[in-house]
């Protein structure tokens, strides 16, 4: 090989090295950017995971292996380690409201979620200090690191349940009130009707004494006065209950 050829080869090699170096730099830059993006994504995911208002736990068939910060807050644990050593039924009372043991029922829900991909249900959980609370649970199955895992999202629905209960109680009270009001209108009106018929029956054959007729009619007037007051009481309850109503309608009903 002559000197020229050797020099040419060296130049080519240098050029190739330069290109490869450039390529490596670009690749390094791309990898760095991707890694940065991954870190950003992970941080964002962690932010969402830990910033959630719901408890989020990750579990396999062997039990919990991770949870977010809200889980610790809702269940009253200080560290994740306290949770991961427990089974789902161990953060629940022994039985659920349907009478089923929590162990059996939790296992059935987990199997359903692994089989179908998702399971949503209401559940009674127990905090670390022993207080039970109603929860809405969503189990979603997905693949993670070559394993099939479940994400359990637990929402504390104590306040919603309290509102529902208060609404039911309020409706029950209103129903009782309506029944009472209906009875205190219909039955007394029958009494007045009957008493007036008696007065008429006594007057027609001329057997009645004026004083007695007057007294009986006075009583029926008093009865009707009181029935009118009872109707106004009922109307006040209806106005209180019915929310938006014009002032004129309110006055008409309660005046």
Partner 1 sequence: MAFPITDIKDEEIYLIMASASDIRNKNIELIKMLLAKDYYVLVITTNQPYDVLKKNYEKQGVAMEKILIVDTITKYALGHDHEPVKNCRFVNNPADMTSIGIAVTESLGELKGKKVSMLFDSVNSMLIYISSQNITKFVHFITNRLRLLNFSGMFLAVEKGLDPDVLTQLTTFVDEVIDVDKIPQKT
Q: Give the binding site for partner 1 (CB under 8 A).
A: 179-180, 183-184, 186-188, 190-191, 194-195, 198, 209, 211-212, 215-216, 218-219, 221-223, 226-227, 230
* Measured distance CA(103)–CA(126) in Å, rounded: 13
Dihedral pair phi/psi, residue 120, rounded to 5°: -125, 135
> Smaller CB distance to partner 1: residue 148 or 218?
218
Shortest Å, Cβ 210 to partner 1: 12
> Smaller CB distance to partner 1: residue 216 or 254?
216
- Nearest CA among 149, 141, 143 for reference residue 60: 149
Which tokens belong to 95?
Answer: 């039985």
Shortest Å, Cβ 191 to partner 1: 5
> Smaller CB distance to partner 1: residue 47 or 225?
225
Shortest Å, Cβ 169 to partner 1: 17
Shortest Å, Cβ 119 to partner 1: 42
- Looking at the chain, the number of H-run helices and the number of E-run strands are 7, 5
Q: How many Cα atoms sit within 13 Å of 226 on the Cβ side? A: 11
Shortest Å, Cβ 141 to partner 1: 50
Helix axes 158-203, 210-241, angle to 10 degrees: 160
> Smaller CB distance to partner 1: residue 18 or 197?
197
Shortest Å, Cβ 162 to partner 1: 27
Contacts (Cβ under 8 Å, ≥6 apart) of 118 = 138, 139, 140, 141
Mode of pairing for the β-strands spanning 63-67 and 118-126 = unpaired
> Smaller CB distance to partner 1: residue 40 or 225?
225
> Smaller CB distance to partner 1: residue 129 or 186?
186
* Measured distance CA(68)–CA(50) in Å, rounded: 5
């Amino acid at each position: 090989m002559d000197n020229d050829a050797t020099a040419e080869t060296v130049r080519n090699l240098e050029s190739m090295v330069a290109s490869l170096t450039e390529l490596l730099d670009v690749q390094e830059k791309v990898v760095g950017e991707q890694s940065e993006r991954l870190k950003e994504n992970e941080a964002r995911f962690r932010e969402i995971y830990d910033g959630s208002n719901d408890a989020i736990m990750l579990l396999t068939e062997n039990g919990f292996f991770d949870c977010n910060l809200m889980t610790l807050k809702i269940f009253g644990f200080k560290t994740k380690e306290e949770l991961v050593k427990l089974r789902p039924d161990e953060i629940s009372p022994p039985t659920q409201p349907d009478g089923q043991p929590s162990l059996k029922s939790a296992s059935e829900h987990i199997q359903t979620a692994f089989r179908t991909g998702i399971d949503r249900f209401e559940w009674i959980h127990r905090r670390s200090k022993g207080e039970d609370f109603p929860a809405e649970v969503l189990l979603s199955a997905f693949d993670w690191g070559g394993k099939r895992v479940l994400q359990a999202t637990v929402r504390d629905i104590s306040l919603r349940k309290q509102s529902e209960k208060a609404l039911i109680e309020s409706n029950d009270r209103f129903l009782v009130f309506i029944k009472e009001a209906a009875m205190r209108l219909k039955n007394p009106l029958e009494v007045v009707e009957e008493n007036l018929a008696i007065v008429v029956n006594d007057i027609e054959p001329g057997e009645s004494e004026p004083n007695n007729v007057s007294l009986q009619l006075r009583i029926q007037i008093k009865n009707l006065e009181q029935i009118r007051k009872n109707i106004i009481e009922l109307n006040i309850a209806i106005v209180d209950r019915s929310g938006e109503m014009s002032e004129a309608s309110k006055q008409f009903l309660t005046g």
